[in-house]
Amino acid sequence: MPTLLETRASLQEAMVFLGALASGIEQAIGESANSISYLAGKHLGMAFSEDAPRTGDIEQALRSVTEILQKNNCLWQFEPFQPHDRPALVETTDAGDQVLLVFRDCMIRQSLFRFGHHQKGSLCNMMYGFFSGALLNIMRRDSTLEILHAGENGCYKKLTVGRTVSADTSLPERG
Amino acid sequence: MIEIEIHDQSCRGCQLCVDICPTKVFEYDAAQAKAVIRHAEDCIACLSCAYLCPSGALTHGNYHVVKNFYRDLDFSQKMEKFL
């Protein structure tokens, strides 16, 4: 049985490879690389959340996403954040329900730093895709994850969950 | 809660921290010509301000340090005996 050290070393090697790959794709095809990473993340999010309970509550859905990430040993720790000048954690806007999220441990950030690749690139779109896929399964709603700030020790993002139920007919019906 | 401090004598009032902070923790005090902490409770410990400050005037405490990758597994194991 592999030790934790060996598992982490394998993860590191895979992520460093992925970071180099994403950087190369960006150079070769430009902004189209974002769509590839987004779709890869979305498929991952949908696959991981296949059996997650359905809910219309955004806070409950975020707790489910955290559980899904932990269950699959993904190093993507995040938490909802409410600044002093924000009246509520979830803000309702014309675009949908918005929540600010702080991302701490992130294997993508570490992969990028390992080779000095810049943040907010195509690989960061994988996380956007992951949330989009997972929330589509859990809430049946489309969402966007905008990077407000990418820092050395943490990132600050805005999650917007649309109000209309997704018309994606490929989603399996569940109770 | 995350602790954040500005070393008064080091701050040159360049306002880089005011500009970079995504949660508006700092404000510029024109009278003192220095940055001041207004909303320490909003600090998310991204550490961008500390990395950016040319004078190294900013220090953080009681925050979560992200899990960094190992540089090299064999090297790390060899170094362990010194730690």
Give the CATH number for residue B47: 3.30.70.20
Residue A106 falls within a domain, yes or no? yes
Q: Which residues of A touch B47 (CB under 8 A)?
A: 151-154
> Can you list the positions of beta strands (E) in chain A?
76-81, 91-92, 97-106, 141-150, 155-165
CATH of the domain at A21: 3.30.1380.20
Q: Which residues of A touch B24 (CB under 8 A)?
A: 83, 85
Cα dihedral A140, A37, A106, A108 in deg (nearest 10):
180
Residue A50 falls within a domain, yes or no? yes
The whole model's pTM is what? 0.85
Interface contact B69, partner A, CB < 8 A: yes
Total number of domains constituting chain B: 1
B63: nearest CA partner in chain A: A153
pLDDT digits (tens, 9 = 90+) for A86-131: 999 999 999 999 999 999 988 888 888 877 788 888 889 988 999 9
pLDDT digits (tens, 9 = 90+) for B9-60: 999 999 999 999 999 999 999 999 999 999 999 999 999 999 999 999 999 9
Q: Which residues of A touch B48 (CB under 8 A)?
A: 149, 151-152
Q: For residue A84, which of B37, B62, B7, B48 has the smallest C-alpha distance?
A: B37
Total number of domains constituting chain A: 1
Across the interface, whether the CB atoms of B69 and A156 are under 8 A apart is answered: no
> Which residue among A84, A109, A149 places its CB closest to the CB of B42?
A84
Q: Which domain does A34 fall in, by range? A: 4-165
Q: Which domain does B18 fall in, by range? A: 3-82
| ipTM of this complex prediction, to 2 decimal places | 0.81
